[in-house]
């Protein structure tokens, strides 16, 4: 068994010497392959309970994480009578955050629902309506939620906290605040997670403010800037779906390296100015696979981000099943 552990060294960025958040990548891509769609697990160090950040591919991602040694605390003996994969899925995922209800962010939640246990799903009110009316409706899938059409099986309690309001994430020590994102007309969102005075930001799908004609990212940068100044933001996960060759009219509410770097330049202004983002860990997610022969989207995006990285941030490319410590 190959153990993959990405240790994020925050020297020069964090004022603390211990890590606060464990993150496991269950899915890192934004389409095509149904077994590697956007989903991450996060927990505070020392706690066994995870929050799932989106749920594109849950069970396949857990299987890959077990293969890579990213769940060392779960043994067959501990998991019995479940498999280790089943134990992590049912017992260690304590609640879900769904940034928006596109299929590549909810497929694992929907497909795994018959074998899940009672949990809370946190999401925007618009996304909650989509889950009730278009997925858990006894037409697309049985209604495993607590509202909507037909018999309500009640596995999931769908909770829509008010935007900007702090709430507890399941029964974990973590708290969250949801902020809106602009995604080509779809209501998407970012979750700011906090625990023990430290924070981590998870972004659902988003376009750049200039392309989307929005101020949503600017509003978020104004929130994150002071946290960076206080050395309290441990890292973030944000999408870069396409390389810079993708024209604006075909982005469909997504980012490219050039657009992300432009947005991060705005964040730098709110974080104390030049050099304030140095060594900030940023996990790049939701890279779109391609059917074009000989093209490697991740390698191209990584090359373009590296070439334009005058900010000095620490770009990371987690693979499915990888664990990172922030």
Taking the chain (326 residues) in runs of 10, the rounded mean pLDDT of each run is: 46 49 97 92 95 98 98 96 98 98 97 97 97 95 92 95 97 97 96 96 98 97 98 97 96 97 98 97 97 95 98 98 97
Residue 310's nearest CA partner among 271, 272, 270, 258 is 258
Site of tokens 């000989």: 294
pLDDT score for 5: 52
**DSSP letter at 72?**
T
> Residue 137 and residue 229: Cα distance in Å, rounded?
46
pLDDT score for 3: 44
Site of tokens 């997504």: 254
pLDDT score for 12: 45
Alpha helices by DSSP H, listed for the chain, are: 59-67, 76-79, 84-87, 103-112, 125-130, 209-212, 216-229, 257-270, 297-307
Contact (CB, 8 A) for 158 and 134? no
Give me the domains of the chain, ranges plus CATH numbers.
5-325 (3.60.15.10)
> Residue 35 and residue 272: Cα distance in Å, rounded?
41
Q: The pTM is what?
A: 0.94
pLDDT score for 31: 86
pLDDT score for 149: 85
The torsion angles phi and psi of 26, rounded to 5 degrees, stand at: -90, -25
pLDDT score for 6: 52
pLDDT score for 14: 46
Contacts of 68 (CB under 8 A, 6+ apart): 1, 2, 3, 4, 321, 322, 323
């Amino acid at each position: 068994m190959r153990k993959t552990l990405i240790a994020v060294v925050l020297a020069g960025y964090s004022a603390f010497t211990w890590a606060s958040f464990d993150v496991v990548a269950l899915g890192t891509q934004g389409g095509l392959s149904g077994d590697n769609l956007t989903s991450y697990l996060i927990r505070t160090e020392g706690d066994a309970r995870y929050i799932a950040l989106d749920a594109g591919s849950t069970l396949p991602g857990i299987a890959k994480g077990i293969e890579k040694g990213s769940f060392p605390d779960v043994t067959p003996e501990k998991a019995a009578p479940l498999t280790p994969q089943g134990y992590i899925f049912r017992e260690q995922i304590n609640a879900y955050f769904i940034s928006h209800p596109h299929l590549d962010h909810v497929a694992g939640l929907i497909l795994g629902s018959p074998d899940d246990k009672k949990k809370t799903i946190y999401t925007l009110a618009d996304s909650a309506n989509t889950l009730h009316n278009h997925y858990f409706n006894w037409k697309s899938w049985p209604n495993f939620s607590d509202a909507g059409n037909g018999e309500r099986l009640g596995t999931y309690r769908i909770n829509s906290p008010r935007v900007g309001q702090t709430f507890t994430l399941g029964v974990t020590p973590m708290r969250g605040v949801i902020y809106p994102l602009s995604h080509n007309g779809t209501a998407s969102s970012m979750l700011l997670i906090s625990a023990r005075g430290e924070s981590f930001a998870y972004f659902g799908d988003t376009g750049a403010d200039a392309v989307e004609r929005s101020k949503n990212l600017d509003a978020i940068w104004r929130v994150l800037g002071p946290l960076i100044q206080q050395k309290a933001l441990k890292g973030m996960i944000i999408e870069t779906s396409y390389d810079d060759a993708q024209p604006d009219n075909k982005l469909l509410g997504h980012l490219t390296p050039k657009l992300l770097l432009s947005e991060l330049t705005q964040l730098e202004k709110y974080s104390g100015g030049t050099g304030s983002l140095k060594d900030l860990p940023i996990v790049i997610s939701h890279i779109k696979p391609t059917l074009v022969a000989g093209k490697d989207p991740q390698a191209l995006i990584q090359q373009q981000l590296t070439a334009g990285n005058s900010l000095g941030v620490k770009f990371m490319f987690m693979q499915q099943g990888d664990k990172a410590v922030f």
